[in-house]
Amino acid sequence: MRKPVIPTPMRIGFLGLGIMGQGMVMNLLRSGHEVTVWNRTALKCKDFVKAGAFKGNNPAEVVQSCDITFSCVADSTAVKDLVFGNSGVLQGITRGKCYVEMSTIDEETMQDVGEAISARGGVFLEAPVVGSRVPALEGQLIILAAGDRKLYDDCFSCFEAMGKKALFLGSDVGAATRMKLIINMFMGTVVASLAEAMAMAEKVGLDQEDVAEVFSLGALSCPTVIHKSQAILNQKYDPHFPLQHQQKDIRLSLLLGDKVEQPLYVAAAANELYKKARRLGYGDSDIAAVYRAASA
């Protein structure tokens, strides 16, 4: 059982009610936080308003009415539109307003957002999360943060509600994004390798259930291998972590590798497998659907 959270008296905003945001917001509400939500598709706000949230009409309005506003959306394009677009975050930022970007995006966009918020007198923190749909629902995310230390401290009760651990990685905006991309790159290569192993097992006449059982009993046993091997066995690819987002994260990792001249041979190969899976129509499916590309 999770320890009870003492909610901050600050007014909290949350932008984005996708696969991750839904669980994060619900945990903020359950722990007693006052939350104002906004989502591009307004209908998604309905259940959260029923659960006690307020509804904002646009990102600027949410930022204006709240002390700390969190955002978690799909990619860099969505973040730029949210922050710099019409009635966007930047239009609501005034001196002292706090903004926490939890999306997984490229380092340059994260830094651009941070600089723009600071230029308006706002306070910025990047805080991408490690975890997928179920950890988000269960409040078991790992939160990686960098930027303003006081804002990180002010987010304590929110991070406690959303995650099992929060780490402050320093004042250098971009550090948390780099950490997140490396973690997701590693996870993506692991799942791609698992998919190839399961496909190979079938081709050589082995029972895939036996292979999955051995994985679960040996040194390779971990939640990712266990859950994704079961998804492959059952051919159930409902999205816990959409495949297109995993491919996006590996692509961003490869760009980061280019920037620092670090060869990423395994990640580059895995990226091609995920690209093939997207071409086959599995972009919206769970990352385990990369098996479809490996076995095609």
pTM: 0.96
Q: Among all chains, which residue has been given the structure tokens 């990226």?
A: 271
Q: Show the CA angle centred on residue 59, arms to residues 78 and 174, nearest 5°.
A: 50
Q: Which of these is catalytic: 3, 55, 180, 203?
A: 180
Q: Is 3 a catalytic residue?
A: no
Q: What is the CA radius of gyration of the chain?
A: 20
Structure confidence at residue 74 (pLDDT): 95
Residue 173: what pLDDT?
98
pLDDT of residue 1: 56
Side-chain half-sphere exposure of 244, counting CA atoms within 13 A:
10
What pLDDT, on the 0 to 100 scale, is given for residue 293? 98
For residue 217 the two structure tokens come to 């009993």
If you ran DSSP here, which 8-state letter would residue 165 be given?
Answer: E
Q: What are the per-10-residue average pLDDT scores of the chain (296 residues)?
A: 86 98 97 98 97 98 98 98 98 98 98 98 98 96 98 98 98 98 98 98 98 97 97 97 98 98 98 98 98 97
Domains in the chain with CATH codes: 12-173 (3.40.50.720), 184-295 (1.10.1040.10)
